[in-house]
């Protein structure tokens, strides 16, 4: 008789899930069965998503095929919606609405995070989120459409509103979206002769903090602020949004900004799937020990944004929700899962951050690799080299797009592939799924 291979099920294909699967493949060479449940067939390299929204990169450049780069991993297309620790199964719904279940010997939960919402009137209805390909594509189309409609606006007030964008949140995402977005709208302004005589596009970046990029060294924050200011961006710190409407935004400083574009980049929260499991959580994140195991459930592991991983470098706190931690935790989860199956010894998670980088587009960036502050062209070179090294595929295509973007005008057209209703900011209330099928798939 042939012994059954242990089955390791990974839920989610973000930084943590992808690295976990890749590490398992490299270390076991087929000795275990690896199953990955994910709604899409790709790993999304999130740090380059602002380049997609700004028209500098084509969407497929930031996606890495799971079947092509993880040969040997069984991909189950579907959205996980529950687990049964007693039966050791994960339930899911596939893209056609069919329910299914997968049995596991070890389970790794890496479901990631979603947009963070605040109870501000009008935000859920009128703001645009920024967490996936669909949102980036929709934002690029939206900015292009507003510029083209501004060219035929019946009044200067409408024209100004259609060419004004407000970005809320001056962390990494908000700052990069603003930096890339202003380059796109400036290009649209130059290319559309009907807009040439009017005012330049207006971008406003607001944050309740006292400076942009508060996570970075103050010198780098100052450098990023300088670059945005030179591009004409209005940076308003110590300011928040009080109300959003279809034709404008009211800010906490009392001003009202006529605008048809509000981009919400205030941060992320753990995927609501975590809270539905009935397992211990900490601020919405699944509680785990330093070995990344869920308490009282030794066969279940979790890491990345969904897990409250103890921070060995800062006792009493948890690791930040960053790609840097998720990448390394995914590798350690694979190691410790194998250790639980008799392959090696488990290790505790510990990692000192290696610095952070913000790509401001073109020849500008702010970075502190190994905590050495850089700005301008050196920072841009280091930042892009880091992204090329970190992305597990498409390096040549990304490099080619960057090169073409440096020497050619941006190719800005509306593709119209993503309707507005397909990218709701409130991810707890997605569009209505297809009706349940009568059949259920079970993978024993």
Model confidence band, residue 422 (pLDDT cutoffs 50, 70, 90): confident
Please report which residue ranges of 302-375 form alpha helices under DSSP H. 323-340
Beta bridge partners of 302: 109
pLDDT at 218 over 80: yes
Query: How distant, in Å, are the alpha carbons of 16, 84, 319 from that of 292?
Result: 12, 19, 12
Query: What pLDDT was estimated at residue 196?
Result: 67
Q: Annotate 209-222 with b (16+ C-beta within 10 A) or e (fewer).
A: eebbbeebbeebbe
pLDDT for 432: 36
Which of 179-193, 251-265, 407-421 bottoms out in mean pLDDT, i.e. has the lowest?
407-421
- In terms of Cβ atoms closer than 10 Å to its own Cβ (0-12, 13-18, 19+), residue 372 is exposed
> Which residue reads 């905590």 in tokens?
371
**Strand partners of residue 138:** none
* Span 333-354, pLDDT tens digits: 999 999 999 999 999 999 888 8
Task: Enter the DSSP assignment of 430.
Answer: P
Read off the tokens for 401.
């797009």
**DSSP state, residue 409:** -
Give the pLDDT score at 356: 85
Strand-pair partners of 109: 11, 302
Is the predicted pLDDT of residue 52 greater than 70, yes or no?
A: yes
- Verdict on whether the full-model pTM lies above 0.75: yes
Q: For 55-69, write each residue's pLDDT tens digit.
A: 999 999 999 999 999
Place of tokens 């002769």: 193
Q: pLDDT tier at 30 (50, 70, 90 boundaries)?
A: confident
* Span 166-195, pLDDT tens digits: 999 999 999 999 999 999 999 999 888 777
**DSSP secondary structure, 18-69, as one string:** HHHHHHHHHHHTTSSEEEEEESSSEEE-GGGHHHHHTTSS-GGGGEEEHHHH
pLDDT value at 297 more than 90 = yes
322-328 mean pLDDT: 94
Instruction: Reply yes or no on whether the pLDDT at 411 is more than 90.
Output: no
Taking the CB of residue 131, how many other CB atoms lie within 10 A of it?
A: 22
**Mean pLDDT for all residues in the chain:** 91
- Tens of pLDDT, residue by residue over 89-144, are 999 999 999 999 999 999 999 999 998 888 999 999 999 999 999 999 999 999 99
> Would you put residue 238 in left (φ > 0), alpha (ψ -120 to 50) or beta?
left
Cα(368)–Cα(358) distance, integer angstroms: 9
């Amino acid at each position: 008789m042939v012994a059954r291979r242990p089955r390791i099920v990974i839920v989610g294909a973000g930084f943590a899930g992808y690295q976990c699967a890749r590490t398992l493949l490299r270390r076991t060479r087929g000795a275990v069965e690896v199953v990955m449940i994910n709604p899409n067939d790709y790993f999304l390299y999130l740090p380059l998503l602002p380049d997609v929204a700004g028209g500098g990169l084509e969407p497929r450049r930031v996606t890495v095929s799971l079947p092509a780069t993880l040969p040997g991993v069984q991909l189950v297309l579907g959205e996980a919606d529950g687990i049964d620790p007693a039966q050791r199964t994960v339930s899911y719904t596939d893209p056609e609405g069919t329910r299914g279940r997968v049995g596991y010997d070890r389970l790794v939960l890496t479901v990631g995070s979603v947009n963070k919402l605040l109870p501000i009137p009008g935000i859920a209805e009128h703001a645009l989120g920024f967490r996936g390909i669909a949102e980036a594509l929709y934002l690029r189309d939206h900015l292009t459409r507003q510029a083209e409609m501004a060219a035929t606006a019946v009044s200067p007030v409408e024209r100004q509103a259609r060419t004004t964008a407000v970005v809320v949140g001056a962390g990494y995402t908000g700052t990069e979206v603003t930096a890339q977005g202003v380059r796109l709208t400036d290009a649209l302004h130059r290319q559309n002769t009907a807009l040439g005589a009017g005012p330049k596009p207006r971008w406003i970046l607001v944050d309740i903090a006292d400076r942009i990029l508060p996570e970075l060294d103050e010198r780098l924050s100052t450098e990023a602020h300088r670059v945005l200011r030179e591009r004409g961006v209005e940076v308003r710190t110590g300011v928040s949004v009080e109300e959003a409407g279809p034709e404008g935004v009211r800010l906490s400083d009392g001003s009202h900004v006529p605008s048809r574009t509000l981009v919400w980049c205030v941060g992320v929260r753990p995927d609501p799937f975590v809270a539905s499991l009935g397992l211990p959580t900490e601020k919405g994140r699944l509680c785990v020990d330093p070995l990344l195991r869920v308490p009282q459930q030794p066969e279940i592991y979790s890491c990345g944004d969904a897990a409250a991983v103890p921070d060995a470098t800062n006792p009493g706190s948890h690791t930040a929700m960053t790609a840097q931690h998720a990448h390394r935790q995914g590798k350690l989860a694979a190691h410790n899962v194998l250790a639980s199956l008799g392959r090696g010894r488990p290790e505790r998670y510990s990692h000192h951050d290696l610095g952070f980088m913000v790509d401001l587009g073109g020849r500008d960036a702010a970075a502190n690799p190994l905590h050495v502050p850089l700005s301008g062209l050196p920072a841009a070179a280091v930042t892009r080299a880091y992204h090329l090294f970190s992305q597990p595929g498409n390096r040549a295509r990304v490099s080619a797009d960057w090169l073409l973007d440096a020497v050619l005008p941006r190719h800005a057209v509306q593709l119209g592939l993503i309707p507005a209703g397909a990218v709701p900011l409130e991810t707890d209330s997605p569009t209505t799924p297809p009706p349940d099928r009568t059949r259920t798939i079970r993978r024993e």
